Amino acid sequence: MFKKDKKLIFYLITATSSDANTAYYIAKCMLSETSRYFIDTKTTVSATSVKLLQREADSLGTVLRGIYSSTATIIDRTYNLNPSISSQRSGSLFGQAKANALAGAYTEVMRNLEIAKINLQKETPLYKIIDESELPLAPVRASTTHHILFVSEIFVLIMLIILVALRLYRIIQNKLY
């Protein structure tokens, strides 16, 4: 049973069962599932943007590593190059320019990713278990008032059945004579 106190935003989760272990674990499971669902619904948009930015950052990082590697390979191939021949340097210069452009994009994506992670942390609701029961649970006994009310309800029900049966018996007796 869920009960929300609107002033303090407290939730009370209780489970009733004849077995104490069943009641305990049902209440714990209910708490974990509802908190997971609540957090997932509150942070769906932010979590999606973090995943997209992380995927973009990973792919840019992979491309950037490849460009750095190919530029280093081009520079290694043109070792001791003649400074008067600039066509040999064009491959490495193009690779360095491409690497610089992608490094700027990678830096911006990483900055946006960090901002998105911070926003996700801010939007994620926090919850704290204030009072958690421990096993073995103390049995809750019904009060004397509950017993008296229960017995009196059964007594009234039995009396009504007897009165209806007597009434039907009298009606049948009158029709026979």
- For the chain, percent of residues with pLDDT exceeding 70: 86
Tell whether 95 and 53 lie within a shared domain: yes
Residues 113 and 162 in one domain: no
Asked whether residue 38 falls in the same domain as residue 52, the answer is no
Which residues, listed in sequence order, are joined to residue 104 by a DSSP beta bridge?
A: none
- For 34-69, the pLDDT digits (tens) are 888 988 888 898 999 999 999 999 999 999 999 888
The pLDDT assigned to 165 comes to 96
Mean pLDDT of 137-146: 78
Residues paired with residue 1 on neighbouring β-strands, in sequence order: none
Q: Locate tokens 């609107």: which residue?
A: 6
- Expressed as residue numbers, the domain containing 175 is 142-177
Are 96 and 31 part of one and the same domain? Answer: no
* Residues 71 and 105 occupy one common structural domain: yes
The pTM score is 0.55
Q: What is the DSSP letter of 113?
A: H
For the chain, how many structural domains are there in total?
A: 3
Spatial contact of 106 and 61, defined as CB atoms under 8 Å apart = yes
Mean pLDDT of the chain: 83
58 and 33 co-located in one domain: no
Residue 12 main-chain phi, psi, to 5 deg: -110, 120
Which letter, b or e, does each residue of 93-113 get, where b requires 16 or more Cβ atoms within 10 Å of its Cβ?
eebbebbeebeeebeebbeeb
**Residue 20 in this model has a pLDDT that exceeds 70:** yes
